[in-house]
């Protein structure tokens, strides 16, 4: 009887041990799966956040040159008082263009077209600071009448990203067109 009882107890103990072992294994496995699921969710959310963040941060589209700047540059340039003086006054850039076309000579003996050339190049260089390191890569400047081209200047590289403008004015019955294109 004692033996039977002992046997029963030891069997029962074994069964209990087995149950406890199963109990300690199963939830552990479930826990691992849940942790993996949680990690997957965290990874997916992180990827979504990163994509959104990169989209927000890279969506900055700024122009180096605004088109109104080129327009106002030409307007201001045409008003600039040059060093060329005739019998009446120091000529503005606008008047110098017509003076150059009529092959006028300044009071100090200088050729008006040479002054037009040097003034144009200097003003554009100072105004736009064109060089390799600058965001502005080059320019093209043109003065023309309806029939012919009077003056042409260009410098730097021509790119596909550019802003341009033109101004026209009439002097002594002639219509002049001044155009400038700035390459970024």
Partner 1 sequence: MVMENWGIKNKKGQLKIQQMAFMLIAVTFLFALVGIFFLAINLYNLQKTATGLEEDNALLLVSKLANSPEFSCGNSFGGSRSNCIDFEKLIVLQGMISKYQNFWGVAKIQIRKIYPEDETLCTSGNYPNCGIIKLLDKNVNSTAFTSNFVSLCRKDLSDNAIYDKCELAVLMVAGEDKG
Residue 155 near partner 1 by CB under 8 A:
no
As a 3-state breakdown, the chain gives helix, strand, coil percent values, each rounded to 5, of 50, 25, 25
Residue 89 near partner 1 by CB under 8 A:
yes
Tokens of 88: 């009446």
Total residues interacting with partner 1, rule: CB under 8 A:
33
Residue 17 near partner 1 by CB under 8 A:
no
Residue 97 near partner 1 by CB under 8 A:
no
Residue closer to partner 1, measured from CB, 90 or 166: 90
Residue 47 near partner 1 by CB under 8 A:
no
Residue 6 near partner 1 by CB under 8 A:
no
Residue 44 near partner 1 by CB under 8 A:
no
Residue 22 near partner 1 by CB under 8 A:
no
**Residue 45 neighbours by CB distance under 10 Å:** 10
Binds partner 1 (CB under 8 A): choice among 25, 36, 41, 50: 41
The beta strand positions in 37-93, using DSSP E, are 81-85, 90-92
Residue 31 near partner 1 by CB under 8 A:
yes
* Minimum CB distance to partner 1, residue 126 (Å): 5
In contact, 114 and 135? CB cutoff 8 Å: no
In contact, 171 and 95? CB cutoff 8 Å: yes
Residue 8 near partner 1 by CB under 8 A:
no
In contact, 106 and 143? CB cutoff 8 Å: no
* Positive or negative: CA dihedral 176, 87, 89, 154: positive
Distance between CA atoms of residues 38 and 45, nearest Å: 11
Query: What is the contact surface with partner 1 in residues (CB under 8 A)?
Result: 12, 16, 19-20, 23, 27, 31, 34, 38, 41-42, 45, 49, 53, 56, 66, 68-69, 72-73, 75-77, 79-81, 89-90, 92, 122-123, 126-127
């Amino acid at each position: 009887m004692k033996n039977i009882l002992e046997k029963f107890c030891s069997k029962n103990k074994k069964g209990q041990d087995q149950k406890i072992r199963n109990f300690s294994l199963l939830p552990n496995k479930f826990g691992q799966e849940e942790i993996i699921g949680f990690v997957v969710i965290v990874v997916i959310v992180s990827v979504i956040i990163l994509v959104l963040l990169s989209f927000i941060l890279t969506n900055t589209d700024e122009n180096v040159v605004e088109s109104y700047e080129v327009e106002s540059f030409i307007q201001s340039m045409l008003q600039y008082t040059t060093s060329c003086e005739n019998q009446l006054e120091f000529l503005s850039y606008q008047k110098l263009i017509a003076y150059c076309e009529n092959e006028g000579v300044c009071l100090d003996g200088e050729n008006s077209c040479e002054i037009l050339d040097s003034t144009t190049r200097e003003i554009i260089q100072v105004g736009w600071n064109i060089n390799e390191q600058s965001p502005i890569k080059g320019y093209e400047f043109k003065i023309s009448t309806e029939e012919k081209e009077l003056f042409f200047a260009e410098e730097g590289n021509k790119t596909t990203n550019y802003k341009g403008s033109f101004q026209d004015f009439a002097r002594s019955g002639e219509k002049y067109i001044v155009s400038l294109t700035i390459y970024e």
